């Protein structure tokens, strides 16, 4: 302290009230974390899982049935008509792709911001991302009409030597969404490697406990599969070094990726000249909305999951509270964008633009607009109150509102901007058909099937990262010869 001798002493005492809550409650040992998370994968699934899976599976099959019907019949089975030629398919696509953004935000951006609380929730959120992108990918795939020609979207040589036209934002979507899916999958898989090794090793240790031949066989098969995918991970520090670096780089790549994906989705609308679609704030506004909706879905999934699997000590109320704060922040950013759009519609002096916005709020689709405003701008403001942020059932309810609100936001953007063209003779009122509605409902089945399989077969919490943020993981902890080691500067 010689260098600070001339300086006044800075007091570093933290009052009790402001001491940070631990990320894993009750000071559990490392082995307990392994047991708690890996135990879910190894044990038998409870009855609710079977019930939920059956229902989700049936709903998913309904989705596939309607898609089959659509392909056999044509897009006429949807409610699309002049002037609204982009309907639920686009709305659903943007909705699902937006859901995915929270996963990448939690796994990449919060990682770069060194928000350690992300460790308890990043695995589930990343899984959710991948499943949401799968659901999203369905809609542009089927709405091209002649689905067997969908490969024309890719730059593949064909007999007519026709190449894709890269000035179209829809083609940018193809690249953005497929990159997003691939990179999210890589990132997710990379995080899984050490945890798959944990399950592999536990299966090996438990092999002796298998009594019947059948159990032994299952154990062998599982050991083999988890072993293959864990890539022979042995927790070597020389490996960890490259691993952590690669993880940091993937996070660094995913962050601009997640911004670009929803920006490019917003370009679908904003590069046009249509009043209500063409506005320069669309890219960041879409990204904020996507993160907002994604956190809504994370909470919708996580609150029941932590209760059903008894993970309250790892996914603590503090985690929920922090997620609520993100919802509040992004919801408010979205509110800023809504306000800015309206303001500039007035400020810019384009009468069509101003009409489009007045029509949104007070025209035939006023109900959709006000559902959007109440769910997206007003409901997150409830999180100013501490009680709201720390009461799981209440958060769950608000998270449902967030999901609803963000679906309606896309509906408002797509439909209200289209349904009144410049000429009153081209005005119409768009309504979905049964096929529209049930296909969309069906995608929730697909999403839940994938999610339930995920919690069944893969560790749903990142075991090694949670261990890394516990106090006993700190090599400079007071007990145990730490005084012999000098602090390394990173």
Burial class (CB in 10 A: 0-12, 13-18, 19+), 87: buried
Q: Does 194 bind other proteins (CB under 8 A)?
A: yes
Q: Which is nearer to other proteins, 80 or 106 (CB)?
A: 106
Question: Per-residue string for binding with other proteins, 109-148, x by CB under 8 A?
Answer: ---x------------------------------------
Give the residue, chosen from 86, 111, 187, 365, that forms a contact with other proteins under the rule CB under 8 A.
187
Q: Which pair of structure tokens corresponds to residue 357?
A: 């916005």
Alpha carbon separation from 273 to 202, 286, 347, 352, 417 (Å, rounded): 59, 18, 17, 11, 11
Give the residue, chosen from 284, 304, 363, 392, that forms a contact with other proteins under the rule CB under 8 A.
284
Question: Per-residue string for binding with other proteins, 386-415, x by CB under 8 A?
Answer: xx----------------------------
CA angle 152, 156, 161 (to 5 degrees): 85
Which among 15-23, 75-83, 212-220, 448-456 is the span making contact with other proteins, rule CB under 8 A? 15-23
- Partners of residue 84 on adjacent β-strands: 81
Please say whether the beta carbons of 449 and 55 come within 8 A.
Answer: no
Q: Which is nearer to other proteins, 46 or 256 (CB)?
A: 256
Q: Which is nearer to other proteins, 162 or 214 (CB)?
A: 162
Which among 100-108, 127-135, 200-208, 438-446 is the span making contact with other proteins, rule CB under 8 A? 200-208
Give the residue, chosen from 53, 175, 370, 457, that forms a contact with other proteins under the rule CB under 8 A.
175
Q: Which of 41, 37, 19 is nearest to 28 (CA)?
A: 37
Alpha carbon separation from 53 to 18, 258, 444 (Å, rounded): 43, 30, 12
Strand ranges, E, within 394-474: none
Min dist. Cβ of residue 252 to other proteins (A) = 8
Helix (H) or strand (E) holding 455: helix 434-457
How far apart, in whole angstroms, are the C-alpha atoms of residue 465 and residue 283? Answer: 32
Q: Which is nearer to other proteins, 26 or 161 (CB)?
A: 161
Alpha carbon separation from 399 to 151, 289, 299, 303 (Å, rounded): 37, 14, 6, 10
Question: Per-residue string for binding with other proteins, 343-382, x by CB under 8 A?
Answer: xx-xxxxx--------------------------------
Please say whether the beta carbons of 219 and 207 come within 8 A.
Answer: yes
Positions in 21-80 near other proteins (CB under 8 A): 29-31, 34
Min dist. Cβ of residue 63 to other proteins (A) = 28
Q: Does 151 bind other proteins (CB under 8 A)?
A: no
Q: Which is nearer to other proteins, 17 or 211 (CB)?
A: 17
Give the residue, chosen from 21, 65, 81, 272, that forms a contact with other proteins under the rule CB under 8 A.
272
Q: Which is nearer to other proteins, 74 or 480 (CB)?
A: 480
Which among 134-142, 281-289, 292-300, 411-419 is the span making contact with other proteins, rule CB under 8 A? 281-289
Q: Which is nearer to other proteins, 281 or 361 (CB)?
A: 281
Q: Does 425 bind other proteins (CB under 8 A)?
A: no
Q: If DSSP codes are grouped into helix, strand and coil, which group holds residue 26?
A: helix
Min dist. Cβ of residue 359 to other proteins (A) = 18
Min dist. Cβ of residue 369 to other proteins (A) = 18
Min dist. Cβ of residue 285 to other proteins (A) = 8
Please say whether the beta carbons of 380 and 331 come within 8 A.
Answer: yes
Give the residue, chosen from 63, 128, 183, 305, that forms a contact with other proteins under the rule CB under 8 A.
183
Q: Which is nearer to other proteins, 16 or 47 (CB)?
A: 16
Residue for token digits 């990132």? 187
Positions in 154-173 near other proteins (CB under 8 A): 155, 161-169, 171-172
Positions in 446-475 near other proteins (CB under 8 A): 463-465, 467-468, 472-475
Contacts of 277 (CB under 8 A, 6+ apart): 269, 270, 413, 417
Task: Provide φ and ψ at 364, rounded to 5°.
Answer: -60, -25
Residue for token digits 């799968």? 134
Q: Does 312 bind other proteins (CB under 8 A)?
A: no
Alpha helices by DSSP H, listed for 309-376, are: 317-348, 351-362, 366-373
Min dist. Cβ of residue 59 to other proteins (A) = 32
Strand ranges, E, within 24-157: none
Phi-psi label, residue 29: left if phi above 0, alpha if psi -120 to 50, beta otherwise: beta
How far apart, in whole angstroms, are the C-alpha atoms of residue 103 and residue 129? Answer: 5
| DSSP conformation class of 109 | I
**Under rule CB under 8 A, how many of the chain's residues touch other proteins?**
124
Q: Does 337 bind other proteins (CB under 8 A)?
A: yes
Min dist. Cβ of residue 133 to other proteins (A) = 14
Positions in 216-245 near other proteins (CB under 8 A): 227-228, 231-245
The 10 Å CB-count burial string (b at 16+, else e) for 340-358 is ebeebbeeeeeeebbbbbe
How far apart, in whole angstroms, are the C-alpha atoms of residue 395 and residue 323? Answer: 10
Q: Which is nearer to other proteins, 43 or 487 (CB)?
A: 487
């Amino acid at each position: 302290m010689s260098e600070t001798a001339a300086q006044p002493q800075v007091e570093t005492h933290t009052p009790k009230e402001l001491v940070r809550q631990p990320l894993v409650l009750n000071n559990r040992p490392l082995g307990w974390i392994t047991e708690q998370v890996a135990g879910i994968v190894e044990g038998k699934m409870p009855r609710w899982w079977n019930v939920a899976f059956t229902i989700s599976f049936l709903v998913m099959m309904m989705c596939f049935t309607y898609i089959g019907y659509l392909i056999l019949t044509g897009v006429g089975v949807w409610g699309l008509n002049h002037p609204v030629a982009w309907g639920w398919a686009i709305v659903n696509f943007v909705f699902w792709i937006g859901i995915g953004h929270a996963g990448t935000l939690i796994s990449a951006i919060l990682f770069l911001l060194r928000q350690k609380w992300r460790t308890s929730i990043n695995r589930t959120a990343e899984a959710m991302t991948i499943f949401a992108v799968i659901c999203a990918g369905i809609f542009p795939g089927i709405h091209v009409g002649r689905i067997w020609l969908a490969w024309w979207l890719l730059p593949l040589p064909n007999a007519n030597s026709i190449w894709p036209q890269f000035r179209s934002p829809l083609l940018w979507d193809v690249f953005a969404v497929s990159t997003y899916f691939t990179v999210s999958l890589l990132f997710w898989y990379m995080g899984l490697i050490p945890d798959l090794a944990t399950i592999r090793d536990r299966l090996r240790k438990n092999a002796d406990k298998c009594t019947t031949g059948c159990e032994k066989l299952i154990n062998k098969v599982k050991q083999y599969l988890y072993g293959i995918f864990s890539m022979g991970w042995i927790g070597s520090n020389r490996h960890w070094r490259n691993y952590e670096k690669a993880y940091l780089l993937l996070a660094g790549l995913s962050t601009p990726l997640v911004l670009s994906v929803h920006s490019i989705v917003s370009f679908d609308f904003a590069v046009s000249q249509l009043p209500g679609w063409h506005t320069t704030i669309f890219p960041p506004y879409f990204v904020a909305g996507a993160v907002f909706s994604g956190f809504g879905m994370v909470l919708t999934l996580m609150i029941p999951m932590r209760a059903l699997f008894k993970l309250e000590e790892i996914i603590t109320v503090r985690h929920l509270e922090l997620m609520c704060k993100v919802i509040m922040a992004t919801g408010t950013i979205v509110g800023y964008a809504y306000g800015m759009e309206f303001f500039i519609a007035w400020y810019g002096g384009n009468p069509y633009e101003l009409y489009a916005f007045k029509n949104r709020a007070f025209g035939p689709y006023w109900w959709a607009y006000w559902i959007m405003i109440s769910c997206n701008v007003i409901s997150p403001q409830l999180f100013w109150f501490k009680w709201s942020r720390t009461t799981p059932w209440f958060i769950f309810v608000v998270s449902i509102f967030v999901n609803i609100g963000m679906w309606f936001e896309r509906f408002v953007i797509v439909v209200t901007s289209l349904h009144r063209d410049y000429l009153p003779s081209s005005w119409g009122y768009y309504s979905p058909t049964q096929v529209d509605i049930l296909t969309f409902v069906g995608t929730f089945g697909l999403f839940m099937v994938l999610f339930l399989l995920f919690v069944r077969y893969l560790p749903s919490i990142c075991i090694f990262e949670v261990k890394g943020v516990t106090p006993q993981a700190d090599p400079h902890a007071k007990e145990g010869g730490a005084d012999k080691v000098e602090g390394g500067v990173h």
